[in-house]
Structures are given as C-alpha cells and as structure tokens.
C-alpha cells in the first residue's frame, strides 16, 4: 500500500490527475457538535439565535466558503470549481446537532476534502458564534459518509 501524496523519495507531492477521466463526483461528510444545555436553551425555530445572528444559517454560509477554499487550506488538494455544495444541520437531541455537507463536481478528482472542510468550517462557526455563552462546546466525529465517482465509491 502506498500513500498517493508521497513520491519514491518520500517527499510530499501533488497527485497528477492529468490522465484521469472527467466524471461526475460527489462526497458527503458529517460533523457533530455537542452543546451544554445553556446553549440549547437558545434554540428557537430550528436555529440558535445570538446577537451575532442566526447560528446555523451563518454556519452554512461559512461552510460553503470553506469548501470552496479547500485547496487554499489543504496544501496538496487540487483547486476545483464546485458544481454544488449543500448543507443540512439537524438537531438529533436537545444538546447535539449533526452537520451534513454534500459537495459535487464534474472533474478529474474527487470532492471528499471539500465536503470534510465544509462540515468542519460549519462546526467551527457554530463554536465561534456560541462560545460567549459557553466554552464547553464539543466538536466531535467529523467523518466521510460517502463518495461516488472516480475509480472507487465509498459508503460508511
């Protein structure tokens, strides 16, 4: 088994996708945010309302911006123009939300890192907007749920 981002001399390298086939690709990632009860008490109409504004709406915008800038943040990622970037933020208990980010592209390389970055940035934005109420927020289990297109598909 070889790492794709390490050359024969053990140096970091960007994968050459020049010979890869252009296909429709998508990836879905998820991040979980666990709140202390004093933050969940602020939940109204499916969002947390703060003086900075609606938390989940802002997190979706930030996550989308993060997904679009993935190649600027992760050194060996290829810059790609996303065809789509969709979010769902769902309360799974009074003190926990799940952020799901699905990115899609027609390209020579996949969008797993964009989906993971989008979910991560959305979670970080929720933390930032709620930290004045409590620093006890936990960002947990960011993971890839699925990917399609390219040489192999994946389903968690």
Q: Is 38 a catalytic residue?
A: no
- Going by C-alpha positions, the residue among 68, 59, 66, 45 that lies closest to residue 130 is 59
Q: Specify the residue for token string 């666990």.
A: 34
Identify the sign of the CA torsion 50, 53, 57, 58: negative
- Going by C-alpha positions, the residue among 74, 72, 57, 64 that lies closest to residue 104 is 64
**Backbone torsions φ then ψ of 153, nearest 5 degrees:** -100, 160
Using CA atoms, how far apart are residues 126 and 110, in angstroms rounded to an integer? 27
Q: What is the DSSP letter of 111?
A: -
Task: Compute CA 55 distance to the chain's CA centroid, rounded to the nearest angstrom.
Answer: 16
Q: Which of 47, 83, 86, 128 is catalytic?
A: 128
Using CA atoms, how far apart are residues 20 and 80, in angstroms rounded to an integer? 14
Catalytic site residues?
128
């Amino acid at each position: 088994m070889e790492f794709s981002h390490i050359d024969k001399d053990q140096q970091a390298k960007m994968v050459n996708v020049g010979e890869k086939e252009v296909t429709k690709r998508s990836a879905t990632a998820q991040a979980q945010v666990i709140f202390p009860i004093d933050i969940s008490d602020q939940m109204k109409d499916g969002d947390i309302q703060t003086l900075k504004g609606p938390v989940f709406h802002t997190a979706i915008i930030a996550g989308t911006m993060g997904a679009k800038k993935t190649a600027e943040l992760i050194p060996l990622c290829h810059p790609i123009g996303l065809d789509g970037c969709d979010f769902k933020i769902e309360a799974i208990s009074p003190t926990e939300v799940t952020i799901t980010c699905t990115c899609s592209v027609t390209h020579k390389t996949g969008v797993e890192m964009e989906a993971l970055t989008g979910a991560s940035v959305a979670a970080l934005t929720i933390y930032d907007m709620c930290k004045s109420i409590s620093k006890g927020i936990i960002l947990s289990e960011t993971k890839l749920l699925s990917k399609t297109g390219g040489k192999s598909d994946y389903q968690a």
